[in-house]
Structure 1
Amino acid sequence: MPEEKPTEQSDVAEDAESETSDVYASRKEQRYPISSYTPVAYDNLEVAPESDAHPDTGSGGRFRELSLPKVPKLRHVVGPSAIMLGASLGSGETLFWPHLVANYGWGLYWLFLVAVCLHFVINTEIQRWTLATGESVFRAFERVHPVLPLAMLVGGFISLGWPGWAASAAQIGAQGLGLGTYDIAGVNIVGWRLFGIALMVFIWITYQVTPLMYNVVESLQLVLVALSIAFTLLLFVLIGSVDVLFSVPGSLTDVGDYSPVGTIAVLVGALAYAGAGGYLNLSQSLWIREKGYGMGRYQGRIKNPFAGDDPETVHEDGFTFTPDTQNLKRWRGWWRVTQLEHLLTFLLGLLLVTTILVVIAVSQAPGATSDAVDMWLIEIAPSVGGFTTSVIYVTLFLALFTTEYAIIESFVRNSSDIIYELYGREAGWSLPRLFWGLLTVFCGWGIFILTLPISISDPFGLLVVGAALSGLLMWPYIVIVQLVNTVRLPEHTMPGWGRIAAMWVAAAFFGYFSVLLIGTGLVTRLGLQAFAVQTAVLGSSPGGYALWAVFLLVQVYTMYRVGRAKVAADGTVADAATAKGWFS
């Protein structure tokens, strides 16, 4: 890609300053157009000593010493959070939260605000280990115990294995295009199934057109997200729900007839999908490694095994840096730019899209009696008519397809990393070929499901099941991420007290709703009344109290271990305060 020339005097001055900076990169040094990678002579690097200045290796191998790369400009690292935003658009933002608020009032919107802020903290904490070492969060889990990443893989497949988003996107797209039933070789095939198969094939093909598979994902997701936001804004203008938007502040205490236990699966799914949710959140670690954030710039990327380019080695054990003044300042700069990228792309994007769609749902379908998909297609779309109806179809299709694309990307990238590190590396497998094989199998699995002669009469119900399971997956990994980032990282890279407290709140938040979901599921699905739980805890059955006791024990243990590790690390690294910045 040709070098861009500064067009303003401020850019020239900025570059001149960066050229002499030991902390910030100039355009020549580090432009980050899509992804950035620096190959290193890994075997010739110094092995980091086992000391308080470097991460604890746990059951894994030793880290190699290198300096942190210089910190790039914010505009050069935008991308990973855009993919995460795309994974979120077709779930909580388009379906769950508009449906919940339209049914039960604006008081529930507070839960969305809390959940999305906690997702911001959780996602950036998932990034922390990779930023500091270059390793994926799954490798960090493996250093604790190999069963942990394997459990994440199983949970990810259970929650994401059904191509529900592709089916929903296909149904909406086919209805908007007026596709009916077709006779192919004497077999009647419904149009939306053909459309869904075409979408899965399209996703698979996109990975074949570039040597670095992450690049096409980032580029396409940026386009899809931009289109989704544009059509959402257009829909808001066409429907004209400005009065409802201005009334939001005064409506936040308005809660209708609502029982958290009665709709717990939908609520847990909505809380998990106030963001990407579940297994998808863990992808932030791998996406920033592919982009080249921090020490991830040295770790290696997954290239297309059939593109003809030389492969890059993805190292088993990561890197660490000596905590001198230069590296400490670079860490502070990296942490700042990482948070800003996630804040401005993911958090603000979610707040904008969700608020607009909730406003439209509340104004057009108050107290909606149907599920979230039918609310849009049966209650809202016909009532507005004409061009606006077409915009609704396009908006929903873009949001759902963007989510399905991100789900396939996330599942395949996460799963290939887990399988490779647990089994494939020792067996001599190629990580790029493993990635490509899983991509083909997962897309083929989706096509197989879409061709089965079964009726999907309740697509939203299938999405609720997957979303609820994603919510259940979040509680344990929030706890594990806390322990990894405080117990195993050195003082200058471990989270500060503000973030530790925020993660305690996140664990309590998702743990509380997980207990409600588990208890309610045992009662309604298995008839085990002994496990009945109450939202106020008091009044639960004996088994319900046992579930609450497990939740409390996990929370107390986590707070104790994390707090003790943080106190013990105080003063173990000279000048560690140099690395600390805003909400570090």
Structure 2
Amino acid sequence: MSDGRPGSDADASARSDVPDDSDDSNAGPPESAPSTEPSVAGGDDVYASEVEGKQYRGTWYLPLRYEELEESDDSDDYPDSGDGGSFRLADLPRVPRVGHVVGPSAIMLGASLGSGETLFWPVLTAQYGWAVFWAFVVGVFTQFLINTELQRWTLATGESIFRAFARVGSYWPWAFLVGGLISLGWPGWAAGAAQVATTALGLDGSVALFGASLATWKLVAAVLMGVIWLSYQVSSVMYNAVEVFQIGLLFVAIGAALLLVAVTGSWVEFADLPAAAGSVGTLPEGLDIAVFLGGLAFAGAGGYLNLSQSLWMREKGYGMGNYQGRVKNPLRGDDPEPIERDGFAFRPTLTNLRRWRGWWRVVQLEHLLTFVLGLLLVAPALMSVAIRYASGSTANAIQMWLGDVVPLLGPVGSFLVFAVLFVALFTTEYAIVESFVRNSADALYESYGREAGWDLPKLFWRLLTAFCVWGVVIILLFSSPFEGQEPFFFLVVGAAMSGVMMWPYTALVLVMNTTRLPEHVQPGWARVVGMWWATGFYGYFSVLLIGTWLTTVGLETFRTVPTVLGSGTGGYLLWAGYFVVQTYAVTKSAAGKREAAGTVADADEAVGRFS
């Protein structure tokens, strides 16, 4: 069987062989089971050899002669093309080991550490103790579910999530682009990192610059934005630079957080954690909904950031994304690699179905062992410190750490707090720049730029430059209504908007994956039910927040309360909209699952744990 993949040849990534699936089709007699005996290179028909798997440790692109590939038909074997063109047929690549593909979830973890895990959740637990810890755990595993579902379309087709959204409706990429700018357009994390750095170095105050007085933290924050921009110039493939820097910074942040627990003795606070089990599902009285929703959104990365998981895995070469090009730095002079508008699909042969099952296992494990495990190590550690040294504090997160916790610690503990905060906030700002630019470049390119003849790498580079300059301008010159606000203000605004954004795209991904993907790559019923929960979860808190915002500006009729009953007239309209969206998502996805059942022969071969 020829699958267009390299065997033991380490240089095979340069091949442009057209995969030949003609002898591996469901049209003929049942295929014999693929050999499980390892080849000379250590692989088999399903799993990649060690040499082949190592190709993924950077990023891997395997070019195919796209125009010569057969197009998919309208049968149930292939994804629904919607408003786009048909897919080109190629075999699903062989499955590497988890250790070969670590990267996308590490960047996502970096985006998480400086938001919910360092700021929002330590503040919430300082105020309410372990009584709110249940919501953090629920948020983390809910985001695990959402993030892996965001990867499903890309793994199966090589297309980005924004291209998938455009197949549903051309307006969707634009909608999320605007939401991303609103939620991530504020450089709060760079500002926060700068405030930590200036406090640690005793550089509080202001400096004279061009005849004006400028807060020192603003100058440092502007420099950090410049450092982020410069780091992209290190590598030809811009994703590679981000992955290397983020993984390095993560080791520092995680190590410092665990040392902080040991040095401060805050580990004793975990003894009170079991007693908080009785508070599961309840919210403390007086809880700030904006901060709480920000914590839920950033119990992980959250909002616009999560959509990047699709693009990062395509850059890495996961699944059918291996046949799509990477975004390269136009300043390095390398030839661009093609990213096809209409992606790829694989025939549901026994070999490909078993490869899909293997790939899906790898995707879940990479996210679980990197993203989820990292969050469950760092966040509770920092929460325990906040409970021990800042219990009852009403200060914002950065002031709580610098004003309440640090003065109570010795030199080593203080240094570790500064180290954790600075590195965590900086990694998050780095990931936010990467996420916003990569998402926005892809959304613009798929919605307009491709037809207009734009070059994606140049678009990426220009957006990177513009976003970094924008961040510097906001930091240095922001005025009313933000003048006088400290960095945490920007974080609450961005986090709350991220939480609201997660509601519509979670519902959209659920419907898309159950109605437009064929049976063998659809989510299983357990995941569908989990996504019903995720849609309802973020929708519920989004309605509460929207109602609170509208009430704050004087529109009392839009008052919303957690029990629904007792809301204002406008509040009931908001709740009605919520129930309409939830009902549509549930019924549409359930119908899609039922209609697809039994339409693909041997589809059970693709089913693994929590498929």
Shorter-chain TM band: over 0.9
Amino acid at match of 1:53: D
Amino acid at match of 1:566: K
Structure 1 distance, partners of 2:77, 2:39, is 33
* 1:115 and 2:144 are equivalent in the alignment: no
* 1:155 and 2:182 are equivalent in the alignment: no
Structure 1 distance, partners of 2:303, 2:610, is 24
Amino acid at match of 2:70: E
Task: Give 1:364-513 correspondences, 5 Å limit.
Answer: 364-452=389-477, 454=479, 455-513=483-541
- Structure 1 length normalisation: TM-score? 0.95
2:596 is aligned, of 550, 566, 569, to 569
Amino acid at match of 1:96: F
> Tell me, which stretches of 5 or more residues in structure 1 are unaligned?
4-12
Shift of the alpha carbon at 1:352?
Answer: 0.8
Shift of the alpha carbon at 1:256?
Answer: 14
Residue 8 (structure 1) aligns with: none
Relative to structure 1, the CA distance from residue 500 to residue 260 in structure 2 (aligned partners, 3 Å threshold; closer, same or farther) is farther
Structure 2 distance, partners of 1:147, 1:456, is 37
Shift of the alpha carbon at 1:442?
Answer: 0.2
Structure 2 distance, partners of 1:377, 1:258, is 27
The DSSP-based 3-state class of the residue aligned with 1:208 is coil
* 1:25 and 2:25 are equivalent in the alignment: no
Structure 1 distance, partners of 2:484, 2:221, is 13
Structure 2 distance, partners of 1:195, 1:458, is 15
Residue 57 (structure 1) aligns with: 81
Structure 1 distance, partners of 2:100, 2:280, is 43
Residue 212 (structure 1) aligns with: 237
Contact 1:261 1:520 in 2 (8 A): no
Shift of the alpha carbon at 1:261?
Answer: 7.0
2:258 is aligned, of 233, 240, 244, to 233
Residue 66 (structure 2) aligns with: 42
Amino acid at match of 1:568: E
- Structure 2 length normalisation: TM-score? 0.91
Residue 607 (structure 2) aligns with: 580
Contact 2:114 2:421 in 1 (8 A): yes
The count of residues paired between Structure 1 and Structure 2 equals 573
Computed over aligned residues only, the root mean square deviation of the Cα atoms, in angstroms, reads 1.8
Amino acid at match of 1:490: P
Residue 292 (structure 1) aligns with: 317
CA displacement, residues 179-218 of structure 1 (integer Å, 9 cap, x when unaligned):
2433334333322122111101110001011100000000
Structure 2 distance, partners of 1:247, 1:260, is 20
Contact 2:507 2:585 in 1 (8 A): yes
* 1:514 and 2:539 are equivalent in the alignment: no
Contact 1:18 1:24 in 2 (8 A): no
Structure 2 distance, partners of 1:417, 1:258, is 39
Contact 1:104 1:257 in 2 (8 A): no
Contact 1:471 1:510 in 2 (8 A): yes
Contact 1:99 1:371 in 2 (8 A): yes
Structure 2 distance, partners of 1:346, 1:540, is 38
The DSSP-based 3-state class of the residue aligned with 2:213 is strand
Structure 2 distance, partners of 1:282, 1:402, is 18
Residue 351 (structure 2) aligns with: 326
Amino acid at match of 1:26: S
Contact 1:159 1:466 in 2 (8 A): yes
Amino acid at match of 1:384: L
Q: Which runs of 4+ in 1 moved over 4 A?
A: 13-18, 254-262, 453-456
Relative to structure 1, the CA distance from residue 159 to residue 482 in structure 2 (aligned partners, 3 Å threshold; closer, same or farther) is same
Shift of the alpha carbon at 1:101?
Answer: 1.3
Higher mean C-alpha deviation, range 550-559 or range 249-258: 249-258
The DSSP-based 3-state class of the residue aligned with 1:56 is coil
The DSSP-based 3-state class of the residue aligned with 2:207 is strand
Structure 2 distance, partners of 1:469, 1:501, is 25
CA displacement, residues 359-416 of structure 1 (integer Å, 9 cap, x when unaligned):
1101111111211111101000011132211211111000000000000000000000
Structure 2 distance, partners of 1:116, 1:190, is 36
Amino acid at match of 2:503: W
Residue 189 (structure 1) aligns with: 214
Relative to structure 1, the CA distance from residue 547 to residue 185 in structure 2 (aligned partners, 3 Å threshold; closer, same or farther) is closer
Residue 532 (structure 1) aligns with: 559
Relative to structure 1, the CA distance from residue 571 to residue 240 in structure 2 (aligned partners, 3 Å threshold; closer, same or farther) is same
Relative to structure 1, the CA distance from residue 257 to residue 284 in structure 2 (aligned partners, 3 Å threshold; closer, same or farther) is closer
Shift of the alpha carbon at 1:104?
Answer: 1.3
Amino acid at match of 1:156: G
Amino acid at match of 2:267: V
Shift of the alpha carbon at 1:53?
Answer: 0.3
Amino acid at match of 2:178: V
Contact 2:159 2:321 in 1 (8 A): yes
Structure 1 distance, partners of 2:478, 2:164, is 42
Relative to structure 1, the CA distance from residue 254 to residue 510 in structure 2 (aligned partners, 3 Å threshold; closer, same or farther) is closer
CA displacement, residues 203-241 of structure 1 (integer Å, 9 cap, x when unaligned):
000101110000000010000111100110111111011
Shift of the alpha carbon at 1:461?
Answer: 2.2
Structure 2 distance, partners of 1:242, 1:16, is 49
* 1:340 and 2:365 are equivalent in the alignment: yes
Amino acid at match of 1:165: W
CA displacement, residues 137-180 of structure 1 (integer Å, 9 cap, x when unaligned):
11110001011110000000001111111111111111111224
Task: State percent identity of aligned pairs.
Answer: 56
Relative to structure 1, the CA distance from residue 391 to residue 502 in structure 2 (aligned partners, 3 Å threshold; closer, same or farther) is same
Contact 2:267 2:381 in 1 (8 A): no
Structure 2 distance, partners of 1:515, 1:189, is 39
Relative to structure 1, the CA distance from residue 359 to residue 253 in structure 2 (aligned partners, 3 Å threshold; closer, same or farther) is farther
Contact 2:130 2:272 in 1 (8 A): no
Higher mean C-alpha deviation, range 496-505 or range 541-550: 541-550
